[in-house]
Each structure stands twice: as C-alpha cells, then as structure tokens.
A and B are shown apart, each in its own frame.
Chain A
C-alpha cells in the first residue's frame, strides 16, 4: 500500500565538498516501524539522517515525506512532521531542563503566542516518558551526558511528530537507560504509529529493537531488510571488516553478534 510509505528516498546523492558521502540511496520507510541505520564510521549514517531532516540538502528533489517533496515543506510545517534528536546534545548556555523540553512546542507557537496549559501537559508527559521529570528544574549545566540525552529525547517527543529521527540516541547511556529508551521508542511506534529512524552503533541493540535495518557501507546501501536478513556474519564481515559469530538470542529469537577479532 502506497499510503503506508511515510518517507521515500529516491536516488539521493550528497557530497560535503568533492568526495561523495552518499551515493544513489533509494529506500522507503513504512509508517509505525522502527528503523536502524547501521554502518562503520564515515559510512554516511548521520548524513542520511540529516538529509531526511533537511539539515543538509541537495538541490535535486530526492526525498518525499507523505508524498510531498521535502523541499516544498515550510520549516515550521516540517518541524510538526519530523523531530530530530542530534548526535551532539551538549549545550553551553544555562537553561533549565523544563525550558529545553518546552522548546519542543515551539513549532506550534506563533511569534506572539504564549505556551498554554495543554503545552505544559504535553511537556510533562514527555518528561515522564523519558524519566527526566524528577530533575525538571535543574540547570542543564548540572546534569550528566546521559541525562541530557534523555532531556533532548523528551523535547523531540514533545514535538508530537509522525517521524522521529534519532542520531545515536543511546551513545552515552548506561545499559539500563539504553534499554529503557529503546523500549520507550518502540512503544511510540507500536501505540502511536510513529516512524522511528535511529542511527545506532550497537548491532545487538539494533537487532533486538528494529523492525528493519539499513546497513550502509561507504555511502551506499549494502543491504536492507529484517535483522535476520541483514545481520549475517558474511555481511558484517564485509562491511565492518571483523570476524564474528552470529547466533540466535535465546530470549528474543533475534540474531546476536559475537565479535571475535578485526580483519
């Protein structure tokens, strides 16, 4: 069904200067699924995410969101459609946690508008969802990197968009918060039909939580499909240049990668 395709990428190529970072990427994202973008350093994962978020843009129309060309969206309209959690979440200025999460409501506010009770409620729910409500009055300069990641995720959730783009959302989190954030994100996809696209480094986390995996290698799609289809020892060996063993996780039944050594 065509309606289910919320993001379509058709022959996307992008280069920062002369060296091509993305080459001829064609892929689709179905509503309500969790996607993992995997690949070694420099394979173009974040670049792909930033292109979808229009933080980087090529002149050619290659990306469509809900059948409308990405470049035809107004900034504000797009921010009601796509929320982004950036890789670098550190902030130099002194804001309190709640004010940062409240910024997620700004796509819905005009220049002279004031945040309403319902905005407050949405923000409170989002803060509870990622477990940052307890320290909502603290300054963001006093909280840890992992706490900051959860604050920024709460802001993205408060944006109430159909698409959530996460650039390494769990890179600074301990194992408990890694799982709780991924559980939460999966719940958003299942219950609210939000499409989640996350750049991840941890193959096993991706295998466990993602419906679909896009494996990038040197700016090109090497393989897409379910975790079982993509995370085979041959694929991992070629792309990551490591020797590994892939077995079935006895609990989830998903593939589990045991790295052995680098090639």
Chain B
C-alpha cells in the first residue's frame, strides 16, 4: 500500500506507541531501590505539569518519594528517551543517506571522537562544571565535531563525497580515536574508571540541567531531519535519481551530516558512547514499516525512545544498587540482533541460489 493511503493508520499506531511510552515512563519511575507505587509515580509526575497540577493531590505522598521521582528518576528517564530518540533517528538518517545498512555514528567515527575528547579532558584534570555541564562534556562535543570534519575532508574528492570512501575514512578514524582513548587509559590507570564510563555509555549522572542543555538540540535536529524525509527517500534509492528528481544531493548530504553530527555530539557529551541503538532500532523499525522515511523517521524516534528507556531501566535496576553502563545493555541486545539479521540474509541467499 502506498504511503498516502496508509497515512492515517500510521498516525494512529504512532499515537498508540506514544501512549505506551508514557505508560513505560510511569513503570520505569516506580522501579528502583526506593519503593514508590505506580499510582503515586503518576500523581507526582502530573503534579509537575502546569495544566494538570491542580487536579492531583500529592499531600499524602512522602516528601522523599517526590524528591526521588522528580530529582533522580525523572531526569534520567527523560534523558534516556531523548538520547534513544536521537541515536535512532541519526542512525536511520545515515543509513538512508549512505544507502548502507551498517552506517552509524560509530562507523563514521563521531562517537569515538567524542569519547577521545572526554578522555583527554579527564586526564588533563578538567573537572570544572559550567551550568551543570562538565568540561569533559564540552570536550566530547568538540571531539565529535572535529572527527567528522576530518573524516569528511579525507573522503572529499573533487567536491563530491563518495559513500564508500566516507565510510572507510570513518572506520579508520574510529580506530585511531578508540586506540588513542585506550592508550590514555593505559597510561593513566588512576582515571580508568572515569574514562570507562565514557567509552561504555552511562546515564547515571543525569540531571535536569543536562536535559535542558541537550534537549533543545536533540529536539530541533530530530524535527528538522523529519522534514528531509522525502529527500532521504530519493537519495536512498540512488544519488543520480535524486539529482534528476530535483534534489541538490551534495548539499543535502552535507546539511544532514552536520545536523547528525551535532545531535550525536550532544548525546555523547552527556551519556558517553552508547552502541547499537543507532543500528538495531532502525533495522527493526524498517522490517516493520518499510523503508519510507516519512514513516520510518517518526517511528524510529519513538522506537529508539522506548528501547533506550527499557535498557536504561534495566541498567539501573538489574544489579541495584550497582549501575550497569547502559551501553553494555544496548550492545547485549543489539549484537545478537545483528547476528540474526546476518543469518536471515544468509538463509535467504542460500534459498535463492
């Protein structure tokens, strides 16, 4: 069925998914070492929403519960939703843009560049905070952007950026960045633990200030990418075709790459490198709704948010009170899925040939 005729169904399902997301926020809020009931969690959340706050009464709830929900769990939940949404949308965009199912912020080196930036800041002892954002986060942001500029310029030939060259340059720079990070870790054994949090990805240091700092960036970039859905569709079926259909391919590629890099840099700067979300989620969503970016992008946003929220809830509750870096959970989920995709592809190839 074509997109235009299925549009209303798609919108309806999307609204249902959003509703599920809201429910999960409540469930995730009740889980944790302090015992707070599902109903209380929702009452606390609603009491903080401007229009709804007069309708709920939170006088009978313990002040400590309110504090745990609003100051500890909620910012972390919101942050995980934002980051999941962003990584997944960026992954979808890069895969469409480069017509390559492996494309991801990791492959392009953006994530590892950010990790290296953070490691350098930690080793240099720059632990100051500006408006709640650590200098290491600022370094991660700079590292991510520097990496993509280097990768892009290596790949650029005669004013064009061929996909294969870009991916290969990305992989090469990724290796350099991650080896340098590891070298820094070996030489600074006392700071290994702090750096490890960056390379594995964790949301344990979530705060409202971080949400406010990266929220608008992630929100704006996701929305603007969704407005490029039609261009992405045409580029994903071929660059020459897109050109002859009136798309300025090189300009669009550059613009989307910049948006993706900034958004990823923002994510990595608060959570470290979280792997596989950008590959696994877009693939699952593509299997379910097809390759049309007008559907794929919004669904990836919601799917990524759901996936990340579940993973991070597991990260903070599975081994409570210890906090497992969420990057480990996402990779543990994501990698087997990748194997599944490969096996499925292999079976298909054998049955055809």
Q: Which residue in chain B gives the minimum CB-CB distance to A91? A: B237
B246 proximity list for chain A (CB < 8 A): 75-76, 78-80, 106-107
- Asked if A94 lies at the interface with its beta carbon under 8 angstroms from chain B, I say yes
Q: B244 contacts which of A79, A96, A115, A136 (Cβ < 8 Å)? A: A79
CB under 8 Å from chain A, chain B span 289-304: 290-292
* Contact yes or no, A136 B2, CB < 8 A: yes
- Asked if A36 lies at the interface with its beta carbon under 8 angstroms from chain B, I say no
- Asked if A137 lies at the interface with its beta carbon under 8 angstroms from chain B, I say yes
Instruction: Give the total of B residues in contact with A, Cβ under 8 Å.
Output: 25
A136 proximity list for chain B (CB < 8 A): 2
* Contact yes or no, B230 A55, CB < 8 A: no
- Asked if B320 lies at the interface with its beta carbon under 8 angstroms from chain A, I say no
* Contact yes or no, A107 B245, CB < 8 A: yes
A159 to B233 alpha-carbon distance, docked (Å): 16
Using known A-B contacts A94-B291, A95-B237, A106-B234, determine if residue A75 contacts B248 with beta carbons closer than 8 Å.
yes
CB under 8 Å from chain B, chain A span 50-92: 50, 53-55, 75-76, 78-80, 82-84, 86, 88, 91-92
* Contact yes or no, B237 A82, CB < 8 A: no
* Contact yes or no, A95 B292, CB < 8 A: yes
Using known A-B contacts A99-B3, A99-B292, A115-B4, determine if residue A93 contacts B236 with beta carbons closer than 8 Å.
yes
Cβ of A53 to closest chain B Cβ, rounded Å: 6
B234 proximity list for chain A (CB < 8 A): 103, 106
A76 to B243 alpha-carbon distance, docked (Å): 9
Q: Which residue in chain B gives the minimum CB-CB distance to A159? A: B245
CB under 8 Å from chain B, chain A span 94-133: 94-96, 98-100, 102-104, 106-107, 109, 111-112, 115, 120
A53 proximity list for chain B (CB < 8 A): 243-244
* Contact yes or no, A102 B4, CB < 8 A: yes
A86 proximity list for chain B (CB < 8 A): 238, 240-241, 244
A98 proximity list for chain B (CB < 8 A): 2
Instruction: Give the total of A residues in contact with B, Cβ under 8 Å.
Output: 37
A106 to B292 alpha-carbon distance, docked (Å): 14
* Contact yes or no, A112 B243, CB < 8 A: no
B4 proximity list for chain A (CB < 8 A): 102, 115, 120
Using known A-B contacts A75-B248, A83-B244, determine if residue A94 contacts B286 with beta carbons closer than 8 Å.
yes
* Contact yes or no, A103 B1, CB < 8 A: no
- Asked if B253 lies at the interface with its beta carbon under 8 angstroms from chain A, I say no
A94 to B247 alpha-carbon distance, docked (Å): 20
* Contact yes or no, A95 B291, CB < 8 A: yes
CB under 8 Å from chain A, chain B span 233-268: 233-234, 236-238, 240-241, 243-248
B237 proximity list for chain A (CB < 8 A): 91, 93, 95, 100, 103
Q: Which residue in chain B gives the minimum CB-CB distance to A50? A: B240
Q: Which residue in chain B gives the minimum CB-CB distance to A88? A: B238
- Asked if B129 lies at the interface with its beta carbon under 8 angstroms from chain A, I say no
Q: Which residue in chain A gives the minimum CB-CB distance to B287? A: A94
A55 to B291 alpha-carbon distance, docked (Å): 25
CB under 8 Å from chain A, chain B span 173-203: none
* Contact yes or no, B244 A99, CB < 8 A: no
Q: B1 contacts which of A55, A88, A96 (Cβ < 8 Å)? A: A96
Cβ of A86 to closest chain B Cβ, rounded Å: 6
A109 proximity list for chain B (CB < 8 A): 230
* Contact yes or no, A93 B291, CB < 8 A: yes
CB under 8 Å from chain A, chain B span 57-101: 96, 99
A136 to B4 alpha-carbon distance, docked (Å): 13
Cβ of B299 to closest chain A Cβ, rounded Å: 14
A78 proximity list for chain B (CB < 8 A): 246
The 3 lowest CB-CB distance pairs between A and B, nearest first, are: A79-B246, A93-B291, A84-B244
Residue pairs across A and B with Cβ atoms less than 8 A apart, 21 shown, are: A50-B240, A53-B244, A54-B243, A55-B240, A55-B243, A75-B247, A84-B240, A84-B241, A84-B244, A88-B238, A92-B99, A93-B96, A94-B286, A94-B291, A96-B2, A99-B3, A103-B233, A106-B247, A107-B246, A115-B4, A120-B4
List the interface of chain A (C-beta within 8 A of B): 50, 53-55, 75-76, 78-80, 82-84, 86, 88, 91-96, 98-100, 102-104, 106-107, 109, 111-112, 115, 120, 136-137, 139, 159
